[in-house]
């Protein structure tokens, strides 16, 4: 179940996960005859190459976040199709779970198989920007966003494990506890 989160005050960035997935992949689909991208279900396009996935007020379940420093769930469904249907990439409802060392961004099973586990797509380092606290926000920015072994197949084995993906930004209300 998803819950809504109050919008931040005017002038502040909306809460959510801002991410461009992989710019070269988006460009590849764009220049492909018949290539198509759709963004919805809580995700909105930002600029030419990024999406904002809305913050879900319900965090990932406890069993997914044991030992985590922070964890966020986001809503949104981004799909890329092309090559007469042979290419289908779905990046939906991402979670970011920050451990002691690195964070993992996972997505729903791209093929929507019933009961399929989530797919860990990229790992990253996250650092927070304390300046956001004055606005009642937490802001986290990534470095070293890298494709996981589990994510390789989603891109038809074109990218290798460790391939660099785009940086993410997370804006959320400051945790109250």
Whole-number Å distance between alpha carbons of 168 and 96: 10
Give strand ranges (E) for 31-156.
36-40, 43-46, 50-56, 70-75, 77-82, 87-92, 95-98, 103-107, 119-128, 137-147
| Shortest Å, Cβ 158 to ligand HEM | 4
Site for ligand HEM contains 155 (CB under 6 A): yes
* Residue whose tokens read 């038809």: 156
Q: Does the footprint of ligand HEM cover residue 48 (CB under 6 A)?
A: no
Which is closer to ligand HEM, CB of 72 or CB of 165? 165
CB of 2 to ligand HEM, least distance (A): 27
Using CA of residue 98, residue 99, residue 102, residue 106, what is the dihedral sign? negative
89 binds ligand HEM, rule: CB under 6 A: yes
- Give the shortest CB-168-to-ligand HEM separation in angstroms: 18
Stretch that binds ligand HEM, among 4-12, 59-67, 122-130, 155-163 (CB under 6 A): 155-163
Nearest to 50 by CA among 31, 73, 25, 85: 25
Q: Does 28 bind ligand HEM (CB under 6 A)?
A: yes
Which residues contact ligand HEM by CB under 6 A?
24-25, 28, 83, 86-87, 89, 155-156, 158
């Amino acid at each position: 179940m998803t819950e809504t989160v109050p919008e931040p005050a005017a002038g502040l960035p909306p809460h959510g996960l801002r991410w461009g997935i992989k710019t070269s992949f988006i460009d590849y689909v764009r220049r492909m005859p018949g290539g198509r991208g759709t963004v919805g279900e809580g995700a909105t396009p930002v600029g030419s190459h990024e999406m904002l996935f809305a913050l879900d007020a319900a965090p990932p379940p406890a069993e997914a976040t044991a030992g985590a420093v922070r964890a966020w769930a986001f809503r949104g469904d981004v799909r890329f199709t092309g090559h007469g249907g042979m290419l289908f990439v779905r990046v939906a409802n991402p979670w970011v779970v920050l451990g002691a060392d690195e964070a993992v961004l996972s997505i729903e099973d791209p093929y929507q198989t019933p009961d399929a586990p989530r797919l860990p797509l990229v790992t990253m380092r996250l650092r927070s920007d304390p300046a956001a606290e004055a606005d009642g926000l937490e802001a986290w920015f990534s470095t070293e966003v890298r494709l996981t072994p589990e994510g390789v197949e989603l891109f038809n084995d074109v990218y290798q494990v460790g391939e660099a993906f785009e940086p993410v930004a997370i804006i959320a209300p400051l945790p109250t506890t």
